[in-house]
Amino acid sequence: MSDATAQPPKAVEGALGFIDERLGSTTFFKRNVKKVFPDHWSFMLGEIALYSFIILLLTGTFLTLWFKPSMVEVVYDGSYTKLNGVQMSEAYASTLHITFDVRGGLLMRQIHHWAAILFMASILAHMLRVFFTGAYRKPRELNWLIGIGMFTLGMLEGLFGYSLPDDLLSGTGLRITQGVAESIPLVGTYIYMFLFGGEFPGTEIIPRLYMLHILLIPGLILGMVTAHMMIMWHQKHTAMPTQKQTEEQVYGYPFYPVFMAKTGAYFLFTFGVLALMGAFVQINPIWLFGPYDPGAISAGSQPDWYMGVLEGALRIMPNWEVTAWGHTVSFNVLIPALVPLGILFGGAAAWPFVEAWVTGDRRLHHVNTRPRNAPVRTATGMAAVTFYGLLWLAGANDVIADKFHLSLFATTWFFRVAIFVGTFLAFVITKRICLGLQRKDADTISHGVESGVILMSPDGRYSERHEPARAEESTVILSKENARPEAPSRDANGIPAPDTKGPLGHLRSRLARAWTFDDIPIEPHDGGHGHDEVEAGKEPKQLSH
């Protein structure tokens, strides 16, 4: 279904004409109102992230009307009588006021917090879908980088957001942030003093985080969302392999009215789920933690899930410190803060360009790849997921040790070993699974699928008739791009190819061979599966498997 010559429907023609007569700017709308969007359930992951962000903006606006970003000390005398007479900051007192005295305040706080968690979860799930299907390939590398930037900013936005109430849990997180900033060699002390405005905790940190949380970072994320949508609109959405979908033609539903109606309904579904969670599922009960006290810490305290990777890395890192020329470098804090996310986000950002360099694939891609058909990519992605997940679990090593009656020392050493062994095993096992699934697909194309019809030959042997795979299934299987033969390293005159010279050339050749050497080719079968069929007047043959 092409959208090149589509005309706007009558339902919107009048409105477009009204705007065009006054502004002369409706050419874009007339051209794009029938723009086609491919349909697949996994595409909704990105939409959920957008809806969650909108809900965050709406609920955040409500909360700003009553929150006081101040570290001025007050004595609480509000509805929560268990804290009456306790000295606390205005930030914490105003959060208690929103929770217990503002009508709908607790509901809005909890919807806001759940929306933040859903926002991060849906971005991550969307990025995994993009990675495993190869949707980041040319020409969509910029949108991939924008997605990584949004996730990174979302982590900062979440950290600053749950630090604002100035309760004991958020204060502990700020204390870790201060330690991480101070661990950076040479400039760490300056960064720490610039951020906090003085000795920890000071009186400036909450107002500064407040400005970053409600203005700067949301503005950056909003700009990235806008850029992401504009680029996607221009390049068109990628599509899953189907019979009617090709690299040259988009097949799907028009923006109006189908996609517009569906996206409106999905927004209401997302809002409804978050409202139910905000009403019935408690999150971040700051009144139980009490105001922040630098000399206290709550047992079993955990950050939101997306910060768990940093918490886990910090907990399992050995106590390595080096002192030289009057300076102490705390690797036990510096490495957990920079290396894990540097590996994950830096590797993810470089991957589209590294893959294109290794494979030599410079073509435009509008149809996604099945994960099984890119074993190296899928295995690398699962290794990264395992790495991230183990660090996330390590952030709760004390809770795991307590609930399962284990030694904290033993759980820490388990995660220190598992972070390397588990990542390697995830790569190897995933790659073997992908190759096994490729062999199954090749067998389906070559021999067909089981029909359920059992045949008996005159000598008493039984066999099952195979039939060709359905057209839709065959199209999906045959969408695999078979590995192209590697270009010869030398021409007819024995002159080396330019891209094989030097260390980088040798590295690229080795990586290209590792990428494709165990590829399972899948080709269309034109034999008609006659070896499994019974011809008139002949004995049925035993099936060969």
Residue 28: the pLDDT is 66
Residue 456: the pLDDT is 86
| Residue 535 pLDDT exceeds 50 | no
What digits encode the pLDDT tens for the residues 44-67?
999 999 999 999 999 999 999 999
Q: What class, spelled out in words, does domain 33-237+250-290+302-369 have in CATH?
A: mainly alpha
Please report, rounded to a whole number, the percentage of residues in the chain having pLDDT higher than 90. 50
What digits encode the pLDDT tens for the residues 374-427?
999 999 999 999 999 999 999 999 999 999 999 999 999 999 999 999 999 999
Measured N-to-C along each axis, helices 375-394 and 308-316 cross at an angle, to the nearest 10 degrees, of 70
Task: For residues 426 and 385, give the distance between their C-alpha atoms in angstroms, rounded to a whole number.
Answer: 9
| Residue 11 pLDDT exceeds 70 | no
Cis geometry, peptide bond prior to residue 503 (ω within 30 degrees of 0): no
Residue 486: the pLDDT is 62
258: closest CA among 44, 51, 33?
33
Residue 501: the pLDDT is 67
Determine whether 521 is exposed, middle or buried from the number of CB atoms within 10 Å of its CB (0-12, 13-18, 19+): exposed
How far separated are the first and last CA of the chain, in Å rounded? 40
pTM, 2 dp: 0.87
Q: Which residue intervals of the chain bear CATH 1.20.810.10?
A: 33-237+250-290+302-369
What digits encode the pLDDT tens for the residues 173-214?
888 888 888 888 888 888 888 888 888 887 899 999 999 999
Mean pLDDT for all residues in the chain = 86
pLDDT band at 266 (very low <50, low <70, confident <90, very high): very high
| More confident position, 321 or 77 | 77
Give the range among 27-31, 139-143, 232-236, 339-343 with minimum mean pLDDT: 27-31
| Residue 1 pLDDT exceeds 90 | no
Give the total residue count for the chain. 545
Element (H, E) at 457: none
| More confident position, 271 or 445 | 271
Task: For residues 478 and 486, give the distance between their C-alpha atoms in angstroms, rounded to a whole number.
Answer: 21
What digits encode the pLDDT tens for the residues 404-413?
999 999 999 9
Cis geometry, peptide bond prior to residue 139 (ω within 30 degrees of 0): yes
Task: For residues 475 and 470, give the distance between their C-alpha atoms in angstroms, rounded to a whole number.
Answer: 9
